[in-house]
């Protein structure tokens, strides 16, 4: 059950979810500061003002990574720390990431840097945010600035994390910042996010970046009944979830069927200028794959009826309740879908190597005598790492696996109610407790091998 030699193991985080210190050292407001400050947007009206106070506690957090023997660490830089107004450099903002990276390297941890994990400078949102084409060019300047400052120590670069969420949840259904509910605008935002990826990737290359990637979220689609209407419903979901961003990045443009599916909410065509699709299709070194759960789709009896699924273009479609074991978020646990996804991507992406950039699960953890025995999360990781191993054994080109997340953190619209960490955080005292799942994962990493019997981890006595 061992993984290939040199397999990349680590954990992942994102700036707004862990840093706090939202006004320190000249940081400007981001759309998430603005959104979270509006009552009713985030569960419990939580904000990222403190989060995990990682900005002040990064040395302790790196110590945890070191103790757990984590070779890689994926984090994101906050654009509004580095450029508070989206354009003007704030050296004190860069200095934080200097300190962070230097400390990681001192502790033998390889940094992997994501430039955009959803925290757009508010100043740019005031100019239309991702609806404004110019923001793609500003992103390229930001990418170049960050690479100039940190590129001597960071080899692996990601432009954007999950443009799907930034566009569809941010501008389409209003669940995420900036909170717009305009599906037409979401489509335009999606195109500009991809354009930003393309310009950003070009800027990174020009500046000498070693490895350039994008991280996309995927959700394999399952259907109960094998007939034409069900297959067609599944196809629509699949194109939206799994092809909208991937196909243009691979140089295939937007699938024409997808544009047809979306025609009733808006049209992308006016946003697509000559040459855009070439810019978006930059050569990449690997694709970051985020997988959490599958989607179960079904057609509605009335094909003209509006979908219950809060995503654009799904008229006449419905999502079915998840089945089997769920996480506390209500997401279905289905490791087979993960294997299928990695095999499908290997085939679909023509030899582009894959790195699992996020996988993990939220559960309601309990602190007992200063420990967190999160047996359900141990099982989730055991099964899903086993699923990656199965995929590799069957020919999937997976080069690494990063667990989401190092710390319990600000879980976007859910505030602090969903805990994804390998390390528990008490948000009152900021005390960290290493969970059983962290020790389990540390053993997987140390052995470069999947657990022999995935699922056989009800008892965690075997956890070091």
Report the nearest approach of ligand GBH to the CB of residue 364 (Å).
Answer: 15
What is the set of active-site residues?
162, 358
* Residue among 149 and 243 whose Cβ is closer to ligand GBH: 243
Report the nearest approach of ligand GBH to the CB of residue 406 (Å).
Answer: 11
**Could you tell me which of 157, 218, 238 has the C-alpha nearest to residue 358?**
218
Rounded distance, CA 365 to CA 376, Å? 9
Q: How far is CA 205 from the centre of its chain?
A: 22
Q: Does 217 bind ligand GBH (CB under 6 A)?
A: yes
**Could you tell me which of 181, 185, 295 has the C-alpha nearest to residue 237?**
295
Residues in the chain: 464
Tell me the pairing of strands 286-291 and 72-76.
Answer: unpaired
Which positions from 136 through 165 interact with ligand GBH, judged by CB under 6 A?
161-162, 165
Phi-psi domain of 322 (left: phi exceeds 0; alpha: psi -120 through 50; beta: other): beta
* Residue among 77 and 161 whose Cβ is closer to ligand GBH: 161
What are the start-end ranges of the E strands in 117-248?
156-161, 211-218, 221-223
Q: According to the annotation, is 117 in a ligand binding site? A: yes
* Residue among 171 and 404 whose Cβ is closer to ligand GBH: 404
- Print the binding letters for residues 372-411 with ligand GBH: x by CB under 6 A, - otherwise: --------------------------------x------x
Report the nearest approach of ligand GBH to the CB of residue 240 (Å).
Answer: 9
Report the nearest approach of ligand GBH to the CB of residue 77 (Å).
Answer: 14
Q: According to the annotation, is 122 in a ligand binding site? A: no
Q: According to the annotation, is 292 in a ligand binding site? A: yes
* Residue among 17 and 145 whose Cβ is closer to ligand GBH: 17
Rounded distance, CA 439 to CA 447, Å? 12
* Residue among 174 and 279 whose Cβ is closer to ligand GBH: 174
Which positions from 300 through 359 interact with ligand GBH, judged by CB under 6 A?
309-311, 358
Rounded distance, CA 158 to CA 145, Å? 14
Rounded distance, CA 458 to CA 462, Å? 10
Binding ligand GBH by CB under 6 A: which of 47, 156, 242, 290? 290
Collapsing DSSP states into helix, strand and coil, what is residue 461?
A: coil
Q: According to the annotation, is 428 in a ligand binding site? A: no
* Residue among 290 and 390 whose Cβ is closer to ligand GBH: 290
Give the burial class of 70: count Cβ atoms within 10 A of its Cβ; 0-12 exposed, 13-18 middle, 19 or more buried.
buried
Contact by Cβ (8 Å): 153, 171: no
Report the nearest approach of ligand GBH to the CB of residue 404 (Å).
Answer: 6
Q: How far is CA 301 from the centre of its chain?
A: 34
Q: Does 261 bind ligand GBH (CB under 6 A)?
A: no
Q: Token digits for 205?
A: 């290359």
3-state secondary structure 352-411: CCEEEEECCCCCCCCEECCEECCHHHHHHHHHHHHHHHHHHHCCCCEEEEEEECCECCCC
Report the nearest approach of ligand GBH to the CB of residue 190 (Å).
Answer: 13
Q: Does 116 bind ligand GBH (CB under 6 A)?
A: no
- Print the binding letters for residues 81-100 with ligand GBH: x by CB under 6 A, - otherwise: --------------------
178: phi then psi, degrees, rounded to nearest 5: -85, 5
Q: What's the distance, Cα to Cα, between the start and end of the chain in Å?
A: 19
Q: Token digits for 93?
A: 């903002």
Q: Does 14 bind ligand GBH (CB under 6 A)?
A: yes
Q: According to the annotation, is 404 in a ligand binding site? A: yes
Containing H/E element for 67?
A: helix 54-67
Report the nearest approach of ligand GBH to the CB of residue 96 (Å).
Answer: 20
* Residue among 161 and 390 whose Cβ is closer to ligand GBH: 161
Q: Residue 150 CB: number of other CB atoms within 10 A?
A: 19
- Print the binding letters for residues 416-435 with ligand GBH: x by CB under 6 A, - otherwise: ----x---------------
Total residues interacting with ligand GBH, rule: CB under 6 A:
16
Q: Does 276 bind ligand GBH (CB under 6 A)?
A: no
Q: Which residues bind to ligand GBH, rule: CB under 6 A?
A: 14, 17, 161-162, 165, 217, 219, 290, 292, 309-311, 358, 404, 411, 420
Per the annotation, where are the binding residues for substrate? 17, 117, 161, 292, 404, 411-412
Per the annotation, where are the binding residues? 17, 117, 161, 292, 404, 411-412
């Amino acid at each position: 059950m061992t993984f290939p030699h040199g397999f990349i193991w680590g954990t992942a985080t994102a700036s707004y979810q862990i840093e706090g210190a939202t006004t320190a050292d000249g940081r400007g407001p981001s759309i998430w500061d603005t959104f979270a400050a509006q009552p009713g947007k985030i569960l419990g009206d939580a904000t990222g003002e403190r989060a995990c106070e990682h900005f002040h506690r990064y040395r302790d957090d790196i110590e945890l990574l070191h103790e757990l023997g984590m070779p890689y660490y994926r984090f994101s830089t906050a654009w509004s720390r580095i450029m508070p107004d989206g354009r003007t450099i704030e050296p004190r903002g860069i200095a934080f990431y200097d300190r962070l990276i230097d400390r990681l390297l001192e502790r033998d941890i390889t940094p992997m840097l994501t430039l955009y994990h959803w925290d757009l400078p508010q100043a740019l949102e005031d100019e239309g945010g991702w609806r404004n084409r110019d923001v793609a060019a500003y992103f390229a300047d930001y990418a170049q600035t960050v690479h100039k400052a940190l590129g001597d120590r960071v080899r692996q670069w990601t432009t954007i994390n999950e443009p799907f969420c930034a566009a569809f949840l941010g501008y389409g259904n209003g669940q995420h910042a900036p909170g717009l509910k305009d599906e037409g605008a979401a489509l335009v935002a999606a195109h500009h996010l991809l354009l930003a990826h393309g310009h950003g990737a070009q800027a990174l290359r020009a500046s000498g970046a070693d490895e350039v990637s994008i991280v996309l979220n995927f959700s394999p689609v399952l259907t109960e009944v094998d007939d034409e209407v069900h297959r067609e419903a599944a196809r629509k979901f699949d194109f939206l979830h799994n092809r909208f961003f991937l196909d243009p990045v691979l140089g295939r443009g937007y699938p024409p069927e997808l544009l047809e599916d979306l025609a009733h909410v808006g049209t992308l065509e006016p946003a697509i200028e000559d040459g855009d699709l070439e810019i978006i299709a930059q050569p990449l070194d690997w694709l970051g794959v985020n997988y959490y759960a599958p989607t179960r789709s079904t057609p509605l009896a009335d094909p003209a009826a509006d979908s219950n699924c809060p995503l654009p273009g799904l008229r006449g479609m419905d999502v079915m309740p998840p089945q089997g074991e769920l996480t506390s978020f209500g997401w279905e646990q289905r490791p087979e879908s993960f294997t299928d996804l990695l095999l499908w991507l290997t085939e679909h992406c023509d030899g582009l190597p894959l790195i699992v950039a996020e996988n993990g699960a939220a559960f309601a953890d309990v602190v007992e005598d200063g420990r967190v025995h999160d047996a359900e999360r141990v099982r989730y990781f055991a099964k899903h790492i086993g699923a990656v191993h199965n995929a590799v054994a069957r020919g999937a080109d997976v080069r690494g696996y990063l667990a989401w997340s190092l710390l319990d953190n600000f879980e976007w619209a859910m505030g602090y109610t969903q805990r994804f960490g390998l390390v528990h955080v008490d948000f009152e005292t900021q005390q960290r407790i290493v969970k059983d799942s962290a020790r389990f994962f540390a053993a997987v990493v140390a052995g470069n091998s999947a657990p022999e019997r995935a699922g056989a981890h009800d008892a965690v006595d075997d956890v070091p």
